[in-house]
């Protein structure tokens, strides 16, 4: 309710200001700029505030007899994968968790790869693990997400996790990017319950699990995709638009209604650097809140991985007691 009133207030303020600017364009220019800028939903603000809590929890788990221990399997030398793994290692170090990287050659035999996964799954010191995707072509017939011990599934892709999401069990491990988005919305007091939310993209990593989570939180969710007819018809009526399609800067103000919140999951390499799915400059004409790229959803995904690691460690500890 408060969020809705705030949106209405800003829309009215913009309309009234527009009328006065016709008379006083120079004096009110700076005021117009301030009122027209949406709230920037930056991950850093949330992570800086929450990091002490995660660090304390990590220490408590270690004191109780089990230190959070994340193992990552990286096959080959994909530059993007190296960057992602580095970010996860850095976050582990910040909260005091152990991090172990298993860096394998791109031509590793399948049997050796499977043997390593077996050892990690059975290692009692390991409390969380995942295989960094993508993997080389000769291993892609393997569904590595289902080869991880479900108790150690920090990515949240195992079928056990999917079943929990379908049944509405949201207090367990949740896929990292959807979890990060929910945290971002909540920490910024953006109402989910009762909101009309459009998700663009139906991947198993973001779109589909996110739709289940948001429905479980009593939002009205529309899941759009490449075959959706008249995408703008859906997005123009949405309170929150979440784009996760990997199409550089396609989502502009023409897709949005005044006062909407825009969550940009896309990361696209262009000649001018990394950009999201959203045309940021255009979208800010109508959005009341928007995530930047970089600095928005990406870091929240890594943060959520740490939260999941602490959850799996807690689960394993309770099972052993």
Catalytic residues: 88, 132, 155
36: CB partners within 8 A, 6+ apart: 14, 284, 285
How far apart CA 198 and CA 223 sit, in angstroms, is: 6
E strands, 90-180, in order: 98-104, 128-131
Residue 178 tokens, joined:
């959807």
How far apart CA 257 and CA 41 sit, in angstroms, is: 18
- Contact assessment for residue 241 and residue 207, using Cβ atoms and an 8 Å cutoff: no
- Contact assessment for residue 308 and residue 128, using Cβ atoms and an 8 Å cutoff: yes
How far apart CA 17 and CA 106 sit, in angstroms, is: 60
How far apart CA 12 and CA 71 sit, in angstroms, is: 52
Which burial class, exposed, middle or buried, applies to 290 when counting CB atoms under 10 A from its CB (0-12, 13-18, 19+)? Answer: buried
Residue 76 DSSP code: S
Q: What does the radius of gyration of the chain's CA atoms come to, in whole angstroms?
A: 22
Which sign, positive or negative, has the C-alpha torsion 311, 316, 319, 321? negative
- Contact assessment for residue 312 and residue 285, using Cβ atoms and an 8 Å cutoff: no
How far apart CA 48 and CA 246 sit, in angstroms, is: 28
Q: Which of 195, 202, 184 is nearest to 218 (CA)?
A: 195
Which burial class, exposed, middle or buried, applies to 176 when counting CB atoms under 10 A from its CB (0-12, 13-18, 19+)? Answer: buried
């Amino acid at each position: 309710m408060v969020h809705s009133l705030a949106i209405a207030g800003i829309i009215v303020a913009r309309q009234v200001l527009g009328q006065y600017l016709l008379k006083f364009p120079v004096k009110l220019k700076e005021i117009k700029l301030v009122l027209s800028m949406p709230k920037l939903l930056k991950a850093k603000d949330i992570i800086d505030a929450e990091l002490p809590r995660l660090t304390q929890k990590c220490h408590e788990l270690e004191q109780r007899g089990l230190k959070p221990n994340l193992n990552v399997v990286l096959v080959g030398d994909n530059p993007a994968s190296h960057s992602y793994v580095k970010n996860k290692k850095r976050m582990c170090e910040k909260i005091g968790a152990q991090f172990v990287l298993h860096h394998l050659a791109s031509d590793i035999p399948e049997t050796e790869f499977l043997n390593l996964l077996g050892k990690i799954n059975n290692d009692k010191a390991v409390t969380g693990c995942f295989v960094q995707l993508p993997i080389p072509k000769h291993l892609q017939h393997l569904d590595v997400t289902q080869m991880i011990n479900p108790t150690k599934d920090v990515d949240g892709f195992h079928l056990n996790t999917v079943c929990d999401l379908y049944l509405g069990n949201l207090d367990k491990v949740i896929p990292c990017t959807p979890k990060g988005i929910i945290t971002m919305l909540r920490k910024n007091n953006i109402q989910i319950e009762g909101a009309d939310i459009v998700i663009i993209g139906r991947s198993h990593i973001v779109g589909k699990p996110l739709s289940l989570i948001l429905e479980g939180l009593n939002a009205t969710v529309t899941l759009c995709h490449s075959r959706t007819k008249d995408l703008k018809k859906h997005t123009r009526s949405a309170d929150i638009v979440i784009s996760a399609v990997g199409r550089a800067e396609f989502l502009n103000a023409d897709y949005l209604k005044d006062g909407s919140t825009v969550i940009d999951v896309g990361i696209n390499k262009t000649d001018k650097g990394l950009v999201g799915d959203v045309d940021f400059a255009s979208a800010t004409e109508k959005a009341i809140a928007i995530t930047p790229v970089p600095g928005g959803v990406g870091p929240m995904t890594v943060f959520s991985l740490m939260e999941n690691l602490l959850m799996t460690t807690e689960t394993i500890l309770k099972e052993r007691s």
